Amino acid sequence: MSAEKQRNLFGTDGVRGMANVTPLVPETMVRLGKAIAAVFKDRGSARRHRIVIGKDTRLSGYMLEQAMASGICSMGVDVLLVGPLPTPGIAFITSGMRADAGVVISASHNPFQDNGIKVFMRDGFKLPDEIEHRIEKLMESEELNRMCPNGAGIGKAFRVDDARGRYIQFLKGIFPSDMTLDGVIIALDCANGASYANAPMVLEELGAKVHAIGVEPDGENINLDCGSLHPEVIAEEVRRTGANIGIALDGDADRVVFVDERGDIVDGDGIMAICALDMLDYERLKKKTLVTTVMSNIGLEHAVEKAGGKVVRTRVGDRYVVEKMRAGGYNFGGEQSGHLIYLDYSTTGDGMIGALQILAVMLKREKPLSELAAILEKCPQCQKNIAVRERKPLEKMLSVTKAIHNAKTTLGQDGRVLVRYSGTELKARVLVEGPDHSMIEEIAETIVEVIREDIGE
C-alpha cells in the first residue's frame, strides 16, 4: 500500500476541515506541531531550530496558531510568527529566513468556518507524501512524548514584524525593472483574505491606480461572496470603474482569476495559454513544456502545440504540478482554478506573481487582456460538484462505473470524462468535455445523479 493511501490526516493540500471539529482542534494541533518539529529537528545538531507559522484572516487562526506554536516549542524548536500573510509569502519567508520548515494555517478558498494546515520544507516546497505519512505515524506513536526536552531546551516564540514588507519587496522585484504600471487602472479583489494589505500596496507602488475590494477582513468574511470563487464581483467592479483589468485572489492568495477590460472572465487555462506562448516566443519556457492537470481544457493543449510547445498533465493539486515540474526540469505550470507556478521566481502557486506576469505581457505586447486571451479556443466543458457522505472507491460502485463507461462511449474521440473526489472537501467532481454544450451537460448530470443515489448526502 502506498504512503498516500495510508495517510488519514493529510489530503491533497495539507490538512483541511471545519475549525474546532476533529482534527482541526487545539489538542490535535499541539500534537501535529510536536510531530512536525520532531521531523524537521536535526537532533545531532546543537543549533536552535526554527519553524515559521503564518495564517490567513480566519477567526479560528488565532486558536490554531497558539496550539501549533505550543506543540512546536514543546519539542525545543523556536517559532517565528509572521501573522496574516499569503501562502506563497510564507514559503518565501521560510526559505529566506533559513527556517527548518514553514506552517500555513489556512483553508484557502473554503468558507471561514473551515481551516487547514499546509507545511513547507526549508527550501519553500510543500511536503512530499512520504514526509506527510511520517508525520502522521509519529503523531500516533508514544515515541513523540519521549522526545520532549525540558528546562532550557524548550523553544521560544518570536514575532517577525517585517515579514509583509519583505514579501512586498520580493514581489516588486519580480516585475520587469524597465516597466511601470503608470496609467494602468486595476480592479483588485483580495477576498478579505491574507493579501488584503500587501497586494494593493505592490500594485500601487509599481504605479497603478488600484480600486481594491475585499480588503476589510473581520475573521468571518474571508471568501464570502468575493475573491476568485466569485469573479462576477470583480467583473462588476471593472465595469463600474473602467479598469483595464480585474484581478481576483482567493483567501490565501495562492490562486488568481482575471477579468478583462470588458468584464469577461479569464481563468487559469487562459492565463497559462497567454504566458506559455509568450515564454515560447522569448525562448523562456524550459523544454518548451507547460505542466497542468487533468482538469485543464483540451483547447490549452491545442494552443500550446500550435505554437511549437507541448503540455504535460498530472493529477489535480498544485503540489503535484510542482513535483512534475521539478522532476522534468520545467519552469511553468498551473491549474485551471488559478494556481500559477513560476519556478523561476517561487516554489509554489502565487496569485500576485501570476498577476504581475500578465500585466507585464499586456504592457510588452501593448494589447488588452481580451485580445491576448483570444488565443485560447476552449472545447465546451461542463463541471459539476456533488456533496457525498463518503469517498467510496469509484471502481466499487458498479452503477457509477457503468455511467462513466456509457459517457465515454457516447463521446468517443470527441471528448473526455473525468470523475474524482475533492481532496479538500467531501465532494465528488465530474468533468465532461465534448463538442456540444447540451450533450455534455446531460452526460454530466446523468453521472451526478448516479453518484447521488449511491453516496449523496
d(CA 5, CA 64): 26
364 DSSP β-pair partners = none
What nine digits make up the cell of 85? 500573510
First vs last Cα of the chain: how many Å apart? 29
- Nearest alpha carbon to residue 362 among 290, 418, 424, 278: 278
d(CA 109, CA 353): 18
Q: Could you give the residue ranges of the DSSP H alpha helices within 122-230?
A: 129-139, 143-146, 163-174, 198-205
162 DSSP β-pair partners = none
> Catalytic one among 74, 106, 108, 195?
108
CA dihedral 419, 422, 423, 425 (to 10 degrees): -160
Amino acid letter, 209: K
What nine digits make up the cell of 384? 459539476
- Count of beta carbons in the 10 Å neighbourhood of residue 236: 15
- Nearest alpha carbon to residue 333 among 382, 285, 401, 384: 285
Distance between alpha carbon 243 and the CA centroid of its chain, in Å? Answer: 26
296 catalytic residue (yes or no) = no
What nine digits make up the cell of 302? 491545442
- Nearest alpha carbon to residue 125 among 406, 404, 384, 319: 319
Contact criterion met (CB below 8 Å) for 80 and 51: yes
- Nearest alpha carbon to residue 407 among 449, 456, 378, 379: 449
State the catalytic residues.
108
